[in-house]
Each structure stands twice: as structure tokens, then as C-alpha cells.
Chain A
């Protein structure tokens, strides 16, 4: 998985609780992305980062926040988890933007009860 780890790999939580997912890379790639994967929707971009402390919203950013204090780490936080945020979350990295391969992590399966 191109030097990308995600933690935790599985998590069960209750509605209303905060949840933080971590993505860690060893490739020193500038760009990092968070996607969610749901049946019938493919992968949808939540947030992305183009450098330390530089982040921007994707198409489904409501209810999510991100932080990147180091090149290698990109955190996704669900401030107050809802059942609609039950999903599989993937982190991805790329060296640059546009026509560059995005390398995906192994995913985190999140269940919000």
C-alpha cells in the first residue's frame, strides 16, 4: 500500500461521540486525501491537503474536519459522529496534483451506532 497506514482499521462508536482517524505515510508525498466509500456512490472526497497546514474541502466535507501538522500525518475528525457517517474511509497520497497516481491506504471501517 505504498507506505501508507491507517489507524484504527476498524472502529465502532456511538452517535454523538467524536472520532479521529489517522493516516500516516512514509513516502514524503505533498498531497494527502480523505475519501469515503459507500455502495452506489463510489469514492467521494471529504478533504484534502496540499501541504503542512494547507487543507481544502472536498465534495462531502460537512461534519468532518482535518488537520495536517506534519508532512507524514493527516487526521480526519468527525466532531459528533452520526449514523450517516458509517462508511469505509480511505486515505490517499500523491506526489503532485492533477495527472498523478493517487496511492490508497488499506482503509478504516467505521460503524456509528
Chain B
């Protein structure tokens, strides 16, 4: 019940295309869903996050879509650029769990010029 399942494992997108990464969770007590971006040799960094009281959050080219009834959320990267090539992790947590993030398995995104 603590798992967060992420797909696909890897993704190749042409420059200018839309990248879509999906995550599913089981624990309905989760109340915060962040996405982290990691470049090779670096630590992950927060990209965008959403709370379950909204269905969508947009920041620039990055959008999270959240479906509470389906227990799914996804990251959409519009107009994908080669600089977006990185590994993306979804995560989930509950306040009462002391900030312990449960991460998905990661998606390696490659944007081809």
C-alpha cells in the first residue's frame, strides 16, 4: 500500500513534442505529490508538486494532472527540449508520516534534437 508505481521506465521524445510520465499509488492518505528532476551526477531537485484538492497544476511547460478517484497522477512536459533530458521521479507522502517520501522507480527521458 506504500508503493508508488511509475511508468514508463524510459522515454524518447522529439524536440518540441510532449513528454508524459505516469504514476499510480495505493495509499489514499497521501496528501502531497511532488515530482523531482535529476541530471546525471547530481542530486534530485524539486520540479513541481500538487496537493489532492486540485486536479491540475501548471508551471511553465510543466503540468501535473491529478486524478484522485483513479489514484493516478502524471507529469506533462510541453514543447520538450534537449535540456529536459534527465531522470524524473514522482513521489508521495502524508504529513503524519513525518515527511517520508515514497518515490516511484524513475523515468529516464531523452529529448532528441
Seen from chain A, the residues whose Cβ lies within 8 Å of a Cβ on chain B are: 1, 4, 31, 33, 40-45, 48, 50, 56, 58-59, 90, 92, 94, 96-107
In Å, the complex CA distance between A105 and B2 comes to 25
In Å, the complex CA distance between A98 and B99 comes to 4
Q: Which of B31, B95, B101, B105 contacts A40 (CB 8 A)?
A: B105
Interface centre among A44, A56, A102 (most CB of B within 10 A): A102
Q: Which of B31, B49, B105 contacts A41 (CB 8 A)?
A: B105
In Å, the complex CA distance between A40 and B107 comes to 9
| Inter-subunit contact A59/B99 (CB<8 Å) | no
19 examples of A-B residue contacts, CB within 8 angstroms = A41-B105, A42-B103, A42-B105, A42-B106, A43-B44, A43-B103, A92-B43, A97-B98, A97-B99, A98-B32, A99-B32, A99-B51, A100-B99, A101-B49, A104-B43, A104-B45, A106-B41, A106-B43, A107-B43
Query: From residue A99, how far is it (CB to closest CB) to chain B in Å?
Result: 4
Query: From residue B13, how far is it (CB to closest CB) to chain A in Å?
Result: 21
Known: A33-B100, A107-B43. 7 other contacts (CB 8 A): A42-B104, A42-B105, A48-B100, A58-B100, A99-B31, A100-B99, A101-B34
Give the nearest-CB partner of A94 in chain B.
B99
Seen from chain B, the residues whose Cβ lies within 8 Å of a Cβ on chain A are: 2, 6, 9, 31-32, 34, 36, 41-46, 49, 51, 89, 93-106
Query: From residue B24, how far is it (CB to closest CB) to chain A in Å?
Result: 14
Q: Which of A4, A48, A101, A104 contacts B98 (CB 8 A)?
A: A48
| Inter-subunit contact A43/B89 (CB<8 Å) | yes
| Inter-subunit contact B43/A42 (CB<8 Å) | no
In Å, the complex CA distance between A40 and B106 comes to 7
| Inter-subunit contact A98/B42 (CB<8 Å) | no
| Inter-subunit contact B43/A1 (CB<8 Å) | yes
B41 / chain A contacts, CB cutoff of 8 Å = 106-107
A105 / chain B contacts, CB cutoff of 8 Å = 43
Interface centre among B32, B95, B100, B106 (most CB of A within 10 A): B100
In Å, the complex CA distance between A96 and B98 comes to 9
